[in-house]
Structure 1
Amino acid sequence: MEEKLKLIIKAKKGDAVAFQELIHMEKEKLYKMAYIYMKNEDEALEVFQETVYLAFKSIKKLKEELYFSTWIIRILINTSISTLRKKKNVVLLNKEILDNMASYKMEDRTDVQIDLINALNEIDEKYKTVLLLRYYQDYTIPQIAVILECPEGTVKTNISRGIEVLKGKMKGVYKDDRQISIIQGRV
């Protein structure tokens, strides 16, 4: 962590190599999040690249070095949502997209996880975002509140409501209590 803080300080002073090392540390997490939003490898890469560009351009505005990860995730989320709004169409998962997902190290994905991804893609953006940050990126509620710039109570409410919506979407798919643990990422 100390090494990362040093890199952040250097990057804020304009050190491109330090910034590149920081991105290297965060790239997998950022790409996965972009892919979940965009549902397409090429578009996820574009969002990732745009995020890196925007972050590099505004790294000097980062107020608290400890929050670099949450800061850059927030940029990625905003970039993803902005890109989706520009497209003005929602891409539903179809066979082609599932095949693309399989090519992105998804060989270990199960039918249950694919069902969950389908259900996630059908819910409201605010629920999807908090659930992804909480259960797939392992952020705490306070961290999510910082990323989304909203009160912790709102984050808790959106997580709770999001889980309920997912339960409804997956109702009938699984007959036992696995449904709850699936939604909370414990499968």
Structure 2
Amino acid sequence: MGKLSYSERLLVKKAIKGDTNALEKILQKNHEYIYKMAYIYIGNKEDALDIMQEATFQSLKSIHTLKEPSYFLTWFCTIMARQASKMINQKVKIRELQNIPEFEELKDPSLDKNQVIDVLQAVTSLEDKYRLVLQLFYYQELSVKEISDLLVMPIGSVKTNLKRGREALRKALGEDYYVR
């Protein structure tokens, strides 16, 4: 999880008090990190930018509720996760209505030698429900209970999605794939 510097925490404190310029500055300083997280949540550039925009709007309305400035990035990423969940649910409903095949062809992870890229490709090729739960568990370091509360999903479903997501990753990367 990204850490905030002292000056960034001061900006967050100003934002909590209503300074929208301070909020803009803190978001700009952490733009790269926030974009990476949004991309991991949703899996494509346009949707990632959309959830970042919506999360920014939501944060403007509710920044005053943030109690601890050092948790700003976690708080903001939680807002993005909720937006991603909404977007995923909308896409699922659209797919069902249009009867479009649910999955795209997997990208060949062997095209790149870099393990980070291999893992990112494998994660983004997963079903939305597995990708989101894995991202929250491993990248955001949320507990199963926290994920359950965030996504309004039974704990058993979260555990099942984690297990199936891991299995899908193992299958996509190969049984003997080693990630440091």
Partner of 1:122: 127
Q: Aligned with 1:171: secondary structure?
A: helix
The alignment covers a number of residue pairs equal to 161
Alpha-carbon spacing, 1:122–1:73, altered in 2? closer, same or farther (3 Å): same
Partner of 1:102: none
Alpha-carbon spacing, 1:172–1:107, altered in 2? closer, same or farther (3 Å): closer
Equivalent runs, 1:87-102 vs 2, <5 Å: 87=91, 88-89=93-94, 92-94=103-105
Partner of 1:165: 164
8 Å contact from structure 2 (residues 133, 147) kept in 1: no
8 Å contact from structure 1 (residues 37, 80) kept in 2: yes
Instruction: Tell me the alpha carbon deviations over residues 61-81 of structure 1, each in whole angstroms, 9 at most, x when there is no partner.
Output: 212222211111111011111
The residue type equivalent to 2:30 in the other structure is: E
Alpha-carbon spacing, 1:21–1:146, altered in 2? closer, same or farther (3 Å): farther
Instruction: Tell me the alpha carbon deviations over residues 64-100 of structure 1, each in whole angstroms, 9 at most, x when there is no partner.
Output: 22221111111101111112223324663448xx6xx
Equivalent runs, 1:14-163 vs 2, <5 Å: 14-87=18-91, 88-89=93-94, 92-94=103-105, 110-111=117-118, 113-118=120-125, 121-122=126-127, 125=129, 128-135=131-138, 137=139, 139-141=140-142, 149=149
> Percent of aligned pairs with the same residue?
28
CA drift at 1:147: 7.6
* Higher RCO by CA contacts (8 Å cutoff, separation 6 or greater): 2
Q: Aligned with 2:18: secondary structure?
A: coil
CA RMSD of aligned residues (A): 3.7
How far apart, CA to CA, are the structure 2 residues paired with 1:66 and 1:172? 36
Gaps (5+ residues) in structure 1? Answer: 99-105
Q: Aligned with 1:63: secondary structure?
A: coil
Alpha-carbon spacing, 1:130–1:168, altered in 2? closer, same or farther (3 Å): closer
The residue type equivalent to 2:44 in the other structure is: N
Alpha-carbon spacing, 1:141–1:43, altered in 2? closer, same or farther (3 Å): closer
TM-score by length of 2: 0.67
Partner of 1:103: none
Q: Aligned with 1:86: secondary structure?
A: helix
How far apart, CA to CA, are the structure 1 residues paired with 2:76 and 2:119? 30
How far apart, CA to CA, are the structure 1 residues paired with 2:30 and 2:103? 27
8 Å contact from structure 2 (residues 134, 165) kept in 1: no
8 Å contact from structure 2 (residues 147, 158) kept in 1: no
